[in-house]
Structure 1
């Protein structure tokens, strides 16, 4: 008994424990895309696999705080800034549409963009559900007489 008492009273070495957060923390969006990657994608389109969300999520709150509207020209991206606009082109159909990023996702491996139902219809990916598309940052200036898809109209409403 005296032996075990002596052992238990002896100073013990503490092992270094890795410090882990109490819950997983997602990295900020800026950490997900490097400045070099954003400069490259501004110059030339980036190819990604895109899917779309149908009517089942209509009314659900998006990361921007607005409700999901399947008839709006919007998209979800894990890396593009909320509120930014991109032009999405389907190389197989030649269809293009300008969408505004208003949500985060998709959370399916191998996919880079989740389009609204209307945006997916305009570029012809609703039949297959997933397609390889090209994504290019849109100019931040308001569109002049030219638009990427003349039948799409404007994705924003003028304020009075």
Structure 2
């Protein structure tokens, strides 16, 4: 009994990305419909179809995740900035750009694997009126991994 309690205390204090830095999860991915463009995410940002971002139910916000389409082996790294998906059987919701990089636009849903690759960084502390005013040094360097 004390062993179980010790393990619970040990792992209870760790964040998921610290406990399993290369956590792998498999399931189905979908992508945001156009009606979500401009809406606020759980992180307080606006949904942009051109960003490489996604929604996950349990991973900490700002976690970087490599998503691999298991049907064509295309991969992309996305930053988790929202909660979801809330459809049974789905593990991640992606932006349109991330879904396009994975080649899943025509099907709408794809079998994927997720691997945590690190922790992202905040882009700005205050909301910006012009997204092009962010200096290049502060823009996230997320590109599809092909």
Q: Same fold by TM-score, threshold 0.5 exceeded?
A: yes
Structure 1 segments (4+ residues) deviating >4 Å:
37-41
> Where does residue 36 of structure 2 map in the other structure?
57
* TM-score for the superposition, normalised by structure 1: 0.62
* TM-score for the superposition, normalised by structure 2: 0.68
Counterpart selection for 2:78 from 94, 99, 103: 99
User: What does 1:53-132 correspond to in 2, within 5 Å?
Assistant: 53-132=32-111
RMSD between aligned alpha carbons? 2.9
Counterpart selection for 1:48 from 10, 27, 32: 27
- Which has the higher relative contact order, 1 or 2, with Cα contacts under 8 A spaced 6 or more apart? 2
| Structure 1 residue ranges without an equivalent (≥5) | 1-32, 143-156
> Where does residue 132 of structure 2 map in the other structure?
none
More strand by share: 2
Label 1:127 to 1:83 Cα distance change in 2 as closer, same or farther (>3 A): same
Task: Please say which structure displays the higher CA radius of gyration.
Answer: 1
**Partners of 1:48 and 1:71 in 2: CA distance:** 23
Cα deviation code 1:27-77 (max 9, x no counterpart): xxxxxx9x6x86785345321211001322110011000110011000001
Label 1:159 to 1:43 Cα distance change in 2 as closer, same or farther (>3 A): closer
| Structure 2 residue ranges without an equivalent (≥5) | 1-11, 122-135, 140-146
> Where does residue 6 of structure 1 map in the other structure?
none
**Partners of 1:100 and 1:43 in 2: CA distance:** 15
Label 1:115 to 1:59 Cα distance change in 2 as closer, same or farther (>3 A): same
